[in-house]
Amino acid sequence: MATLPPTPTLGITGYTDGQSGGGTLFNEAMLTLDVFARRTVIDQNITDPGPLTPVTGDAYIVEAAAVDAWAGKDDNIAYFSAGGIWLFQVAWEGLEMYVTDENLFYKWDGAAWIVRP
């Protein structure tokens, strides 16, 4: 059986029956759907995730010049998994996320996060 290609927008990886790790892929896919259906992040001005005490599903917009687990993930959405690792999603043009600590919606315009008018 062929492996299914990732979905075009969220990059959710499909798996085939009997594939090792399929349960993990499924759980990560469900978390991804949850985060993006919610469309909410906690903050968008953090570069170092080290001091955070995240719980499953906590999401952030990664600030430019991020370090440690977020290094090289500038402008991505970072969200914490039940497995204790950060997962990342590249923003797509038109993606809007509500930033709770600012009480504002931001929109990815393809080059930057801008406050939605």
List the domain range (segments joined by +) for residue 66. 39-115
Say if 83 falls within a structural domain.
Answer: yes
Say if 94 falls within a structural domain.
Answer: yes
How many domains does the chain contain in total?
Answer: 1
Say if 49 falls within a structural domain.
Answer: yes
Per-residue pLDDT tens over the stretch 63-90: 999 999 999 999 999 999 888 899 999 9
| Secondary structure in 3-state letters for 24-85 | HHHHHHHHHHHHHHHCEECCCCECCCCCCCCCCCCEEEECCCCCHHHCCCCCCEEEECCCCC
pLDDT in tens, the chain (117 residues): 455 566 666 666 665 556 655 556 777 878 888 888 889 999 999 999 999 999 988 999 999 999 999 999 999 999 998 888 999 999 999 999 999 999 999 999 999 999 998
Q: Give percent above pLDDT 70 in the chain.
A: 79
Say if 17 falls within a structural domain.
Answer: no
Say if 15 falls within a structural domain.
Answer: no
Say if 101 falls within a structural domain.
Answer: yes
pTM: 0.80
Say if 2 falls within a structural domain.
Answer: no
